[in-house]
Structure 1
Amino acid sequence: MGVGKTHIAQALGHLAVRQGANVRFAKTSRIVAELAGGHADRRRGRSPARRPPSAPR
């Protein structure tokens, strides 16, 4: 539903970066898919793979 959830999340991440924090942005569906894949191939417990900042989303 288009109420601005992604926009707010990105704005908060941008503010955190400006204050010196490291942030990651990922959609919940992608995180769940990566975790489910890790369970399927016994990588459960490892963090999902990180993408380089320039990688397409």
Structure 2
Amino acid sequence: MSLRWRSNGDLLCAAKTLDEPNDTYIDDRLHYKLSVELKVVIPRDDEPRSGVWNWVEKKQ
């Protein structure tokens, strides 16, 4: 699953959203690396409906 990183900072499922000017496209391979291997992005609880993903906050 690909993601769109909006210029306002939103991280969205690319399949569930339309592209907008200045979006950065995150392809399937990089999304896998970020979510599964590095665990730095996670889906919001309502992601199946909203398509929203979040960056994991750094633990102190």
In the superposition, the TM-score normalised over structure 1's length comes to 0.29
Answer 1 or 2: which has greater strand percent.
2
Larger Rg: 1
Which structure has more relative contact order (CA 8 Å, sep 6+)? It is 2
Answer 1 or 2: which has greater helix percent.
1
